[in-house]
Amino acid sequence: MMRREFAREMASLDAVFEFLHRFAAKERLDPQAAYALDLAVEEFFTNIVKYGKGSAGGVLVEADRTGGTVTVRLEEETPVPFDVTRQTATQFDTPFVERKPGGLGIHIAREMLDGLTYDYVDGTSRITLTKHLEP
């Protein structure tokens, strides 16, 4: 298992990717799985940075592999639970010229992952991503 805490700022994104790529190399993840994790973690990390409520500390990222399943967790201490995985309505039925990208990243992440959960316990907000690897 690998874990590292990142400053809650957009400038951390490169370091988050570097962490994920070291994990992917260590676990020899296939490119599709590595891409899905990059995309999903980027989405939720940036949402935490943009929309986190009243939180000042860092964001802990943990990555682990058990058999054919990879799990990545993003944790933060926060006084208010705020589920950044909630999907705002994707605008597939909206005319193209009016369409906005809101909700798109969460939709793509959900489609590329095999599991996505949010929980809040004792002041800790936790997003858990799971991805099954190709046999």
Partner 1 sequence: MFSITVNDEGIVVLTGRFDASQTDSAREVLSGLRDSAVVDFRDLDYISSAGLGVLLATQQRLKKEGKAIKLTHMNRMVRDVFKIARFDLIFEIE
Interacting residues with partner 1 (CB under 8 A):
10-11, 13-14, 17, 31-32, 35, 38-39, 42-43, 46, 92, 96-97, 99, 101, 104-105, 107-108, 111-112
In angstroms, what is the minimal distance from the CB of 78 to partner 1?
A: 21
Shortest distance, position 40 Cβ to partner 1, whole Å: 9
125 vs 117: CA distance, rounded Å: 11
CB of 108 to partner 1, least distance (A): 5
Angle between helices 13-26 and 31-51 (to 10 degrees): 150
Minimum Å gap between C-beta 122 and partner 1 is 30
Could you say which DSSP state residue 129 is in?
A: E
For residues 54 and 95, which CB has a smaller minimum distance to partner 1 in the complex? 95
Which residue has 């959900």 as its token pair?
110
Residue the block writes with tokens 């809101």: 102
The secondary structure of 56-113 as a DSSP string is: -S-EEEEEEEETTEEEEEEEEE-SS---TTPPPPP-TTS-GGG---TTHHHHHHHHH-
